[in-house]
A and B are shown apart, each in its own frame.
Chain A
Amino acid sequence: MLSRNRWRVVRRRILQAMPTLAIVSFISFIILHIGPGDPALLLAGEFPTEESIAEIRALYGFDRPILVQYASWVWQLLQGDLGRSLQSDEPVLDLILNRLPATLLIVCYAMVIAFVGGSVLGIAAAARRGGAVDRIATGFATLADALPYFWVAMLLVSFLALDWRLFPATGAVPFSDDPIEAIWAATLPAIALSISGIAQITRQLRAAMIEVLDSPFVRTLRAKGLSSRAILWKHGMKNVGVTLITVVGLVFSGKIGGTLLTETVFAIPGTGSALITAAINKDYFVVQGIIMMLSLFVFAVNLAVDLLYAVLDPRVE
């Protein structure tokens, strides 16, 4: 249960998030509209005429001033209506809800891989500082951060899907249809997406753990005769918890908005690929809806991280 104090934090954060979301929505709306390009041209058919373009503009209200269009969108939003896709006429909320599970699956899967991989490498590197394990872990972290993840994705598909046929090359299976198959199909995209996360967690955890292991209280513990293993797992882990939560939160926020290329390479019908298609086609309402959804996710992750700080370190309370 959350204490009264923490409830106050949650309420304050939600109030703080409101203007942030409003600013994000306004900026994305304006950028999308003032950029060159006219969705009416794409909506007017394969062979548009001046008249059909003008009719489409009037029909969708593209001929109104931009601020009026924004106000109209906000008014709809306040009534719980995210609008409809200009391209497919599907309600934006349905579109997001249909596509979110595929994105969440690969992001959560990638986070599990990044968390486990990064934690193991980071702790091993810190425990054997300067040794072969440390050099391998830091070398991997540097390389993994530098590798473009879509290139890693291509390599994975080439070897593991096309040559060895271990995993499907493309596509996603809905988790609700078949959880095992869904996880199997999401493995390659999740690995590709997790690579940079492993690198970040490894680096941060290694640095934090080294700092802890070098601190005076650890010297005292050693002087008292505590084994290195006990120091590392009992006292070290407890003290790097906040760092770990921070970096995991950052990586998660980055991944939820960073699935665009992964989803395209693996043909996953998630929010990332929907955002790319919508942005190219100037499908305003879909872009706005997905950006709002991503902003809410980042906000929720940050809030969760803040609350977890207090759980891990009572001084934060």
Chain B
Amino acid sequence: MPQNSEKHGPSRRAVLGAGAAGAAWLAAGSPAAEAQGRQAARQQTPRRGGTLRAVVNANPSTLDPHTGGQGTDHAFLSTMFDKLIDYEPDSLAPIPSLATAWTWPDPRTLVLELRQGVVFHDGTPFDAAAVKANFERMLTHPRSTVKADIAALASVEVLAPDRVALKLKNPDTTLPMVLTDRAGYMSSPKALAERGESYGRNPVGTGAMEFVRWADGNEIVVRRNARYWKQGEPYLDGIVMPIITDATTALRSVRAGQNHISLQVDPQQIPAMRRSADVVLSVKDTMRLQQCYINFSKPPLNDIRLRQAINYAIDRAAYTRVVMGEVGGPAHTHIPPTHWAYDREAASRYPFDPDRARALVREAGFAPGALSVNASYASNQLNAQRIEIISSFLDRVGIKLTSTTGTLTATLQQWREGVGDFRMANWTGRPDPAMTYALLLMPTSAFNIGRAVPSQELIDTITESRTASAPEERKRIFARLLRLERQFALTIPLCFEPDIVALSRRVRNYVPNLAGRSRFEQVWLAG
């Protein structure tokens, strides 16, 4: 059975190297920033102390990792919680964290070897019993948002204080990657029991930082965990995470010297930021992509020819240039080119070919201009621009685009009720690509809005992708899966969004990752 252990993880040197590479990226073209990148690479001895001020764009839904629901929560959670399994920032390959190794003795059992000597911030030891308590809560808590992620889990067996077996109802090899996400964050069982419903406002993990306070909608403050198991870390005395919902305002606060880090910088602001002497930019490709779900259960887009026509009609390179400026890359599948599961053949299925698109529309029985397709999207300036671009491409091949728009919640509900033929929405990616395709295409998933079976072979391949565990075998299965999805043109991938972060010139060792989830716990501040 495949096995992963600590020796397979990156060394500390590799992580620091990634930091230096991060700093070099960071440069992103500006001479001043490049100088900073070089300086950062030279200045590798971390400086201790100081309080980082890192702006996050949304108040967390809760600080209980297993009942929260917002992507931005991870910026807070990763400072206070360790996950059972972590990921390598560039490839997202699993690496040891609270679990030092994991093995599959049989396809329905995942055994985790746990790190010894780790304690939660409240002094409770981290052990197999704590892991069991966390999983049982994830499965039974009425507001658990990770129940679906660990749906395959039947029970947890404590084999030894540092050894635990996860027994599955059915084989699911995505589980190690699931444990790099929300379900992998471990809370103190003592704090969970004592604090009950208020735990989400007063969390206790094993992470580099301890929770201090959460001033709702204002800021979250954490301080150094003196008993942290990673020797010598963290470097910072604490982190203040001001909550500023407006990205432009957040950016201004970094330029004004009030804060050190601002997330989610708009690509349109890159030229202005490069002229600014106060900040450097971190630009890192992520799995987050702009795309459209298709309701392939009802006319007109239940006709494969029309879905293929739309995919041929869009010039993704031009779209990316207009929407993202000088960053980002065209997306032809849901897997970015640097990812291990990427398949070149699947990605080359739909080159920009308006003639082919027009022919397919005609073949489907529609005269030019006779086909009208409705797009659903949440109303904001960026989405409006994106829909305009798509509309102009579709117009050229004789497809008229109408739209249904409103607030995010309103349009989402309408989409669920069957309004719209495709919906423009970002896909944030999942640690394991099998989860992405299962969520997008399985008839049981809320994202397959019409609950239609796109192709039995495709469904079988998705199932197969969750049972195979050998890396080479999985890569072959994913190549087949990606090609099938493209053959049936079940989505409209558009472009990958980079993670753009503005950093004050004092910030060192900010390591962006392919998951696009900002983490601050390794950062240190230059003098």
Contacts and interface: CB of A to CB of B under 8 A. Distances in A.
B413 interface: yes
Nearest to B246: A264
Contacts of A48: 145, 148, 446
Interface stretch (A53-61, A118-126, A202-210): A53-61
Contacts, number: 142
B61 A88 contact: yes
Of B245, B414, B430, most buried by chain A (CB within 10 Å of CB) is B245
B51 to A, nearest CB: 15
Nearest to A281: B409
B145 A45 contact: yes
Contacts of B143: 43, 56, 59
B197 A89 contact: yes
A38 B438 CA distance: 24
Nearest to B428: A46
Interface string A75-101: 000000000010111100011001100
Contacts of A42: 69, 409
Nearest to B61: A87
Nearest to B218: A269
A162 B249 CA distance: 12
Nearest to A59: B142
B410 A35 contact: yes
A165 interface: yes
B145 A87 contact: no
A277 interface: yes
Interface stretch (B42-50, B252-260, B309-317, B460-468): B252-260
Nearest to A265: B249
B267 interface: no
A88 B58 CA distance: 11
Interface string A22-56: 00000000000001111101111111111111011
Interface in B141-192: 142-143, 145-149, 182
B225 to A, nearest CB: 24
Given A162-B255, A169-B256, A170-B244, A44 B218 contact: no
Contacts of A168: 256, 258
Given A36-B410, A265-B246, A269-B215, A169 B252 contact: yes
B138 to A, nearest CB: 11
Of A46, A169, A274, most buried by chain B (CB within 10 Å of CB) is A46
Nearest to B256: A169
Nearest to B66: A45
Nearest to A161: B256
Interface string B117-149: 000000000000000000000000011011111
Given A38-B409, A42-B409, A90-B201, A267 B246 contact: yes
Given A44-B69, A168-B258, A170-B256, A95 B216 contact: yes
Contact of B253 (A171, A277, A280): A171
A282 interface: yes
Interface residues on A, range: 35 or more
A266 interface: yes
B409 A169 contact: no
Interface string A160-178: 0110010011110000000
Given A36-B410, A46-B69, A267 B242 contact: yes
A264 B249 contact: yes
Interface string B401-418: 000001111111110100
Nearest to A87: B61
B407 A37 contact: yes
A31 B128 CA distance: 50
A56 B144 CA distance: 10
B250 interface: yes
Interface string A254-296: 0000000000111101000110110011100000000000000
A204 B208 CA distance: 60
Nearest to A261: B246
B277 to A, nearest CB: 12
B359 to A, nearest CB: 37
A195 interface: no
A88 B59 contact: yes
B407 to A, nearest CB: 6
A171 B216 contact: no
A277 B408 CA distance: 12
Of A36, A44, A98, A267, most buried by chain B (CB within 10 Å of CB) is A267
B351 interface: no
A87 B62 CA distance: 7
B217 A274 contact: yes
A139 to B, nearest CB: 31
Contacts of A277: 59, 217, 245
A157 interface: yes
A162 B430 CA distance: 39
A162 B253 CA distance: 9
A46 B256 contact: no
A37 B410 contact: yes
B217 A99 contact: yes
Interface in B205-221: 215-219
Of B68, B71, B249, B257, most buried by chain A (CB within 10 Å of CB) is B249
Given A42-B69, A170-B258, A98 B215 contact: yes
A95 B201 CA distance: 13
Contacts of B336: none
B445 interface: yes
B450 interface: no
B446 A53 contact: yes
A281 B430 CA distance: 24
B258 A46 contact: no
B94 interface: no
A168 B412 CA distance: 38
Nearest to B447: A47
A151 to B, nearest CB: 13
B347 to A, nearest CB: 24
B337 interface: no
A202 to B, nearest CB: 30
Contacts of A98: 215-216, 218
Nearest to B435: A47
B368 interface: no
A52 B242 contact: no
B146 A45 contact: yes
B60 interface: yes
A264 B246 CA distance: 7
Given A36-B413, A88-B60, A169 B201 contact: no
A51 B257 CA distance: 46
A85 B201 CA distance: 12
Interface string A166-205: 0011110000000000000000000000000000000000
B409 A37 contact: yes
Of B61, B182, B217, B255, most buried by chain A (CB within 10 Å of CB) is B217
B218 A165 contact: no
11 contacts: A37-B410, A48-B446, A51-B148, A55-B142, A90-B216, A165-B256, A169-B253, A169-B255, A169-B256, A264-B245, A269-B243
Interface of A: 35-39, 41-53, 55-56, 59, 85, 87-90, 94-95, 98-99, 157, 161-162, 165, 168-171, 264-267, 269, 273-274, 276-277, 280-282
Given A88-B59, A98-B215, 7 more contacts: A36-B413, A38-B412, A42-B69, A49-B148, A168-B258, A169-B253, A267-B253
> Lowest 5 A-B CB distances belong to which pairs?
A45-B145, A37-B409, A36-B410, A269-B218, A169-B256
